[in-house]
Amino acid sequence: MSDFCTFIISPVLNLFGSVLLTFFPLSSLFPYLYIDANERSAKRFSPDRVFNYTSLLLSKEDNMLYVGARETLFALNITDISRTQLHRNLTWSTPQRKREECSFKGKDLQTDCFNYIKILLRVNSTHLYVCGTYAFSPICAYINVSFFLQNTSDFSLVHGRGRCPFNPEYKSTAIMADGELYAGTVSNFQGNEPIIYKSLGQGTALKTENSLNWLQDPAFVGSAYIQESLPKGNIVGDDDKIYFFFSEAGKEFDFFDNTIVSRIARVCKGDKGGERVLQKKWTTFLKAQLLCSLPDDGFPFNIIQDMFVLTPSKEAWKSTVFYGVFTSQWYKGASGSSAVCAFTMDQVEEAFNGRYREVNRETQQWYTYNHPVPEPRPGACITNTARAQGISSSLHMPDKVLNFVKDHFLMDSMIRSLPLLLKRNVRYTQLAVHRVQALHKTYDVLFIGTDDGRIHKAINVKDKMYIIEELVIFPEPQSVQHIELDDEKGLLFVSSYSGLVEIPLANCSNYQSCGECVLSRDPYCAWTGKQCSNIKHAPTKRLRNDIVGITFRMISFQLINDKNIYSQFCYNELENLKWQTSMCFE
């Protein structure tokens, strides 16, 4: 039996006489609710003469949102980013001498030769680590958070080469793990020496090997630190890992020039480099292709724009889901299409534990390596198996293992996913994901930013995505540059070229009737009997919502006194639920 709804109309007609019947079909492709951010308790931050809000850091320790913009750092109170009396800022401008040098090297004085904040990370309870392009001469600094209160910019600077890009337009990523910085960027002025670089810690600084072409003109979109050594004392004894997400030239595809592919790469946190082979280089660098493609013809969305790594808890890392937004370098039917794909940790582990690819140096063609591989497994972290062989560090790895991984850094298996959501004529740029406990089960809610300043709020139900709300965030069309989500306070922070907007995750008050509330599929909301309320703040006894009802139609009776009545009797096969007749009065 398929899903169906039968509407009980007769009693209503007898009671109220003539009425106007209007049907509103719900769709997975089109937002149910269109809202301007001004109608959604939005709070804005956009001071004069400040632009390019490229970096956001949510700090729950001190209830602050740190913001990196062009030549300026801000510390905003999360409670209300629009309250100027709560703001603190530091000016980190580029000296005129540096700007002139930048211009002399052929860069645009009005666009390129400023200090764009690209890295904004917390080191500990007292300090931030911040890097900026500094007019194509990247620098970094440890900044004591007390400086924001003192309004001082008197902090010592260190070079940022290999940590921060020279060009403000270059896509880069960085993450801090136990005081060590892991960055994916470029290490030279020309931007043609890509690097994944570990620095700042007590151990040896490590980087990728450029001469071996481990990276092919990458555009980094994100990174993640996953503590795969947990739980402590586990039988594998694995190491923590750092993951990088990027698109790059797919040299293994020789049938089409300039083919771009999306990648996931990983390194082990305990990597110390090699003793003789791969000295001060990664011994655990491996990468695999992420493929987000249509089911019918395999059309690929091959350019990753952003990745959100959803891990339920540190120890539940095996349940990690990688949500990504992708676009394509080709057009199919309409330009500017985007897709959302999800990958599981099981898929990722299977690829990295699978076969390797090898390149023929003469023909530059890649093929599957089908021969025995040396032991311990090349590119793997130090585990209990390696320790049992007397290998407790990458410095102790046999040369044959390290020589193998030098040339076999690409995995043979693709990590595949079908789009959960496909949108034509939309260019997605950013996303954040919140796992929400609704009335009866848990759902993943995605907040997806577009290149024209909108946010799509979508829910993942049984591996299918439904857009339940569209928000126009900025008054003028501009790309969403960054999204930060505060799950504790239920807030979303969205930045662009011109400013920053804070909006609540839940928008229940915009659903004016029982029918709208229940059929919205919004897991944050439920009908109390009188109004649509946030589940967190409402009594649970009389709450009603429906997330899995997919083919509902809502019937609206427009009465003379402008009140609505919704009556529905529904059977939903997905969870074998049968709704009793419900009358929702407004």
pLDDT, tens digit (0-9, with 9 covering 90-100), for 134-165: 999 999 999 999 888 877 777 889 999 999 99
Mean of the per-residue pLDDT values of the chain: 86
Could you tell me if residue 76 is inside a domain? yes
Q: Are 96 and 140 within one domain?
A: yes
The residue with greater pLDDT, 486 or 535, is: 486
Confidence tier at 561 by pLDDT (50, 70, 90)? very low
Q: What's the confidence (pLDDT) of residue 577?
A: 39
| Whole-number Å distance between alpha carbons of 187 and 245 | 18
pLDDT tens profile 324-354: 999 999 887 556 799 999 999 999 999 999 9
Mean pLDDT, residues 217-241 taken together: 96
How far apart are the C-alpha atoms of 547 and 466, rounded to whole Å? 10
The predicted model gives 192-213 an average pLDDT of: 94
Longest dimension (CA), the chain: 90
CA angle 118, 120, 124 (to 5 degrees): 155
Residue 84 lies in a domain: yes
Contacts 24+ apart (CB under 8 A), 353-359: 353/377, 354/411, 354/412, 354/413, 355/411, 355/412, 355/413, 356/408, 356/410, 356/411, 356/412, 357/252, 357/408, 357/410, 357/411, 357/412, 358/407, 358/408, 359/251, 359/252, 359/407
| pLDDT for 38 | 63
- Apex 430 CA angle, 521 and 128, nearest 5: 120
Are residues 281 and 389 both part of a single domain? yes
Question: What are the contacts of 190-196 at 24+ separation with CB within 8 A?
Answer: 191/165, 191/166, 191/167, 192/217, 194/218, 195/162, 196/244, 196/265, 196/267, 196/282, 196/285
Q: Is the dihedral of CA 399, 402, 404, 407 positive or negative?
A: negative
Mean pLDDT of 249-256: 83
The pLDDT of residue 413 is 98
Residue type, 151: N
Check: CB of residue 153 under 8 Å from CB of residue 94.
no
Q: Residue 387: give its domain's CATH number.
A: 2.130.10.10
Q: Are residues 106 and 230 in the same domain?
A: no
- Better-predicted residue by pLDDT, 70 or 152: 70
What local confidence, expressed as pLDDT, does residue 7 receive?
31
The tokens describing 251, both together, are 């040299």
Query: In the prediction, which pLDDT does 433 show?
Result: 98
Do 294 and 146 fall into the same domain?
Answer: no
Same domain, 130 and 77: yes
Max mean pLDDT among 3-12, 139-148, 547-556 falls in: 139-148
The model's pLDDT over 17-33, given as tens digits with 9 standing for 90+, comes to 333 333 333 334 555 56
Instruction: Examine the domain organization and report whether 252 and 376 are in the same domain.
Output: yes
As for how many domains the chain has, the answer is 3
Q: Pick from 502, 505, 517: which is nearest to 566 by CA?
A: 517
- Do 379 and 284 have their domain in common? yes
Backbone angle region of 61, left / alpha / beta, with phi > 0 → left and psi within -120 to 50 → alpha: alpha
Residue 154 lies in a domain: yes
- pLDDT of 14 reads 30
**236 and 286 share a domain?**
yes
pLDDT tens per residue, range 351-362: 999 999 999 988
Sign of CA dihedral 388, 390, 393, 394: negative
Residue 520 near residue 507, CB atoms below 8 Å: no
Residue 201 lies in a domain: no
Please identify, among 399, 419, 439, the residue that sits at the C-terminal boundary of a domain: 419
Q: What percent of the chain has pLDDT over 90?
A: 68
Q: Is the preceding peptide bond at 398 cis, omega within 30 degrees of 0?
A: no
pTM: 0.88
Q: Of 479, 223, 168, 209, nearest to 336 (Cα)?
A: 479
User: Same domain for 106 and 16?
Assistant: no
Residue pLDDT, tens place only, 388-412: 999 999 999 999 999 999 999 999 9
Q: What is the mean pLDDT of residues 550-571?
A: 35
Q: Are residues 12 and 73 in the same domain?
A: no
Task: Quote the domain boundaries for residue 526.
Answer: 4-26+510-585
Q: Is residue 282 located within the same domain as residue 412?
A: yes
For 314, the token pair is: 């540190």
Q: How does residue 546 score in pLDDT terms, banded at 50, 70 and 90?
A: low
pLDDT recorded at residue 23: 30
Last residue of a domain, one of 377, 401, 419: 419
Minimum mean pLDDT range among 4-8, 383-387, 484-488: 4-8
Q: Is residue 386 located within the same domain as residue 289?
A: yes
Where is the domain boundary, 396, 419, 442?
A: 419
Mean of pLDDT values over 241-268: 92
Q: How confident is the model over 73-96, as a mean pLDDT?
A: 91
